[in-house]
A = this chain, B = another copy of it.
């Protein structure tokens, strides 16, 4: 547990451990594997670290997860998200939820061009 906590603080350049990881203190496997996965997934790759936080917030808002909205909005600010970006992010999330409901309610058929998410070759 100590080793994971040290790695969390070193990776994030912070002095303390937030409540999420404290809640997992009694579950060493969950703690270690979840942190390992978070570290891999949130590291910059084909998508940069800030964009990944924006995506995280979008999911957390759609799930109504209060802890997650707060912790990842804070993390996104830390990585450079401005108030204007937050406003645009939530505008996209709001619109996606609206059009999702319209597409679901009207039971709209997937256009041929959009099949398989627009892949040219079969998956």
Contact = CB atoms under 8 A, between A and B. Distances in A.
Contacts of A102: 20, 23-24, 30, 34, 90-91, 93-94
A74 B113 CA distance: 8
A70 B117 contact: yes
B47 A110 contact: no
A120 to B, nearest CB: 9
B60 A20 contact: no
A116 B23 CA distance: 13
A58 B55 contact: yes
A59 to B, nearest CB: 4
A96 interface: yes
A116 B107 contact: yes
Contacts of A72: 96
A68 B96 contact: yes
A52 B92 contact: yes
A10 interface: no
A114 B19 CA distance: 10
12 contacts: A34-B99, A38-B99, A42-B92, A59-B96, A69-B105, A70-B115, A71-B110, A71-B111, A73-B114, A89-B105, A93-B105, A94-B101
